[in-house]
Amino acid sequence: MDFMKEKNYYIFKIKINHLKVFIYFIILISTIFILFYCALQENSFLKEVYAESPIKEKNKNKTVYELQDTFREIYELYKDSVVFISTEKTVRIENPFYNDPFLRRFFNIPNLPDTQKQRGLGTGFIISSDGYICTNHHVVAGMDVVKVKINGREYNAKIIGSDKFVDIALLKVDGVRDLKPVYFGDSDKVRIGDWAIAIGNPFGLDRTFTVGVISAVARKDVDQMGNSHIQTDASINPGNSGGPLINIDGEVIGVNRMIYSQTGGNLGIGFAIPINTAKYVLEELKKHGRVKRGYIGIHIAPITEEIAQELKLQDKKGIVIIGIMDGSPAAKAGLRLGDVILEANGKVINEPDELIRIVNETPIGKGIRLKIHRGKSTLEVLVIIAERPQD
């Protein structure tokens, strides 16, 4: 028995000695490597650039590092909440040479497919743990197939509803759970100069993170509908559409929509749909598959000097009707081209946006009482709000 104990002890000591030799060997190799690396740097023509930047030590305890950490935290918070969207549809190839039998025979054109696949890319973000996703209408409109990549796995997505007027779409992915939804902020509190962060898939580059500031709020002249937009210089490019615009608190304040560019690339002028607008649209799409909006069916414009002179107006108060849709509530109420709207429900109107806001806030089926100037007369006209046609 004592012999076995001595034998085991002897074996143990041998293993310990081997381990020590191995550790010493590793230390020796590491030391040689470090000395070699230092000597290499010392003798390298690049030795001057290996010196530590003088700013590094100064910045150690500065708030700039705290801000940098915040950016990193926001990325970690949202890296699994922002999704990659790919789309596909079949389009017919319109070519007179293909469609004309005589030309095909004359030029000996072979039989070729008369359709092709058209593909697109976009971004979206998760708004519920069970798979509801927000993106832009233009990302998915008219597409035959919509796929969403979440955490590296691709799913087929169903379009629950889509609204082209605000450019918001609601998607649903089935067979998922415990997804990470984003956090909504209050876009009414956004101010010029606030930090702005965009995460998306520009040109298919997944989860690209860019930072800028809010350049303007309530931009209303960037689309035909006069919708309000947040302007930012955070880099937004093709493929970013539908992604979130995020504030420094890690809250989504907008849905990235488009850029102003003459080249197709980023020029530092991007626009996002305010999240408070998107919230209402998403709720309507979930309930009805579309957004029920009221309208009265007129085209309006502010009073300019030329319009005031043409209509022989004494001042530029109000807004002028420059178009009326056939069969619209305005047409049925007897409104005419050139009528000047002075008030709506007792509120003075001097800008088109003011009337648009009142129409949007009035339930379908209710009336708006307009005070108008026509010729030399002032009239009151009741216009009943109807549901806006989808087209």
Burial (CB count <10 Å: 0-12, 13-18, 19+), residue 320: buried
- CA pair distance 369, 355, nearest whole angstrom: 11
Q: What is the largest CA-CA distance in the chain?
A: 126
Q: Which two structure tokens, joined as six digits, stand for 158?
A: 């169903």
- Compute the C-alpha angle 370/373/375, nearest 5°: 145
CATH class entry, domain 294-387: mainly beta
Q: Is residue 292's pLDDT more than 90?
A: no
Under a CB-based contact definition with an 8 Å cutoff, are residues 340 and 303 in contact? yes
Identify the band that residue 169 occupies on the pLDDT scale cut at 50, 70 and 90. Answer: very high
Return the pLDDT at 382. 95
pTM for this model (two decimals): 0.73
Q: Which two structure tokens, joined as six digits, stand for 380?
A: 């009151």
Among residues 189, 238, 246, which one has the least CA distance to residue 213?
Answer: 246
Q: Which two structure tokens, joined as six digits, stand for 56?
A: 């590094």
53 CB-side CA count, 13 A: 5
Q: Output the average pLDDT for the chain.
A: 85
Cβ-proximal residues to 294 (8 Å cutoff; 6+ apart), any chain: 359, 360, 362, 363, 364, 385, 386, 387, 388
Q: H-type helices in the chain, by residue range?
A: 2-43, 54-58, 63-78, 96-99, 101-106, 137-140, 275-288, 305-310, 329-333, 352-361
- The residue with tokens 């030029």 is 107
Q: What does the DSSP assignment read for 229-250?
A: EEEE-S---TT-TTPEEE-TTS
Q: Is residue 363's pLDDT more than 90?
A: no
Among residues 223, 241, 168, 191, which one has the least CA distance to residue 356?
Answer: 223
Catalytic positions are 138, 167, 241
> Whats the size of the chain, residue-wise?
391
Return the pLDDT at 98. 59
Return the pLDDT at 59. 73
Per-residue pLDDT reduced to its tens digit, 23-38: 877 887 877 777 666 6
CATH number corresponding to 187-288: 2.40.10.10
For the segment 123-146, the average pLDDT, to the nearest whole number, is 95
Q: Is residue 7's pLDDT more than 60?
A: no
108 CB-side CA count, 13 A: 0
Return the pLDDT at 258. 85
Question: How many CB atoms are located within 10 Å of the residue 329 CB?
Answer: 22
Under a CB-based contact definition with an 8 Å cutoff, are residues 117 and 110 in contact? no
Under a CB-based contact definition with an 8 Å cutoff, are residues 373 and 336 in contact? no
Residues linked to residue 92 through DSSP beta bridges, in sequence order: 115
Q: Which two structure tokens, joined as six digits, stand for 258?
A: 């488009």
Side chain identity, residue 346? G
Q: Is residue 253's pLDDT more than 70?
A: yes
| CATH topology assigned to domain 81-173 | Thrombin, subunit H (2.40.10)
